Amino acid sequence: MNRSPLSVRSADGPRQQVCGWAGLACGVLALGLSLLPGWVAPLYDPPAKAIAQQAADWLGELKAKTIESLRTEPGRPQAAEPGNPWRDPRIALASLFLAFTALVLGIIAFVRHEDQRLVACAVALAAGAIAGAHFLTAVMVLAFAVLVGMLLARHQ
């Protein structure tokens, strides 16, 4: 029997969906990492001041900077605001890494002729996670996936 190395079958006969399930898991994790900081981070941010108070503070800072520049003395250093742990760029980086991993696993699952629902879910979750960070890139990924799907559907 001539079997392709890409088609994986167990001894029982049904095809193993390894890449599809792995892509789905990576996509779910990536989407969670992409969306969760946007929901949690505002809880850690201090409450916003009224617009009138913000304008008064900005004018006060502008006045202080103008006076300091006229005196030609070095100004006092600005106090650093405490950082929000949910705004860490490493979270976005991990989300994008998992999303592109899910995308690659979805493509591999498509080539291996795994279940098309798993392939579609892995690609859609990856695109959703990428859209959390970069909307235009996600649109291009989805358009590429649709084009590849249409082209390969014609050849089968």
In a domain, 11, yes or no: no
53 to each of 43, 44, 81, 98, how far by Cα in Å?
Answer: 21, 21, 18, 42
Tens-digit pLDDT profile for residues 57-97: 888 888 888 887 777 655 566 666 666 676 778 888 888 89
Give the domain extent around 26. 18-46+90-154
In a domain, 60, yes or no: no
**Number of domains the chain contains:** 1
Give the DSSP H/E element, type plus range, for residue 16: none
Contact assessment for residue 118 and residue 23, using Cβ atoms and an 8 Å cutoff: yes
In a domain, 83, yes or no: no
In a domain, 102, yes or no: yes
In a domain, 64, yes or no: no
Tokens of 11: 């001894």
Tens-digit pLDDT profile for residues 110-151: 888 888 888 888 888 888 888 877 777 777 777 887 887 787
Check residue 1 and give its pLDDT. 46
Cα separation, 23 vs 30, whole angstroms: 10
In a domain, 138, yes or no: yes
Check residue 118 and give its pLDDT. 86
In a domain, 13, yes or no: no
Confidence of residue 2 (pLDDT cuts 50, 70, 90): very low
Contact assessment for residue 85 and residue 44, using Cβ atoms and an 8 Å cutoff: yes
Is it the case that residue 101 has pLDDT exceeding 90? yes
Check residue 133 and give its pLDDT. 72
Tens-digit pLDDT profile for residues 18-36: 888 999 899 899 988 888 8
Contact assessment for residue 78 and residue 123, using Cβ atoms and an 8 Å cutoff: no
Check residue 69 and give its pLDDT. 75
Q: What does the pLDDT average to over 51-57?
A: 81
In a domain, 108, yes or no: yes
Is it the case that residue 3 has pLDDT exceeding 60? no
User: How far does Cα 155 stand from its chain's mean position?
Assistant: 33
Check residue 9 and give its pLDDT. 52
Tokens of 86: 């949910």
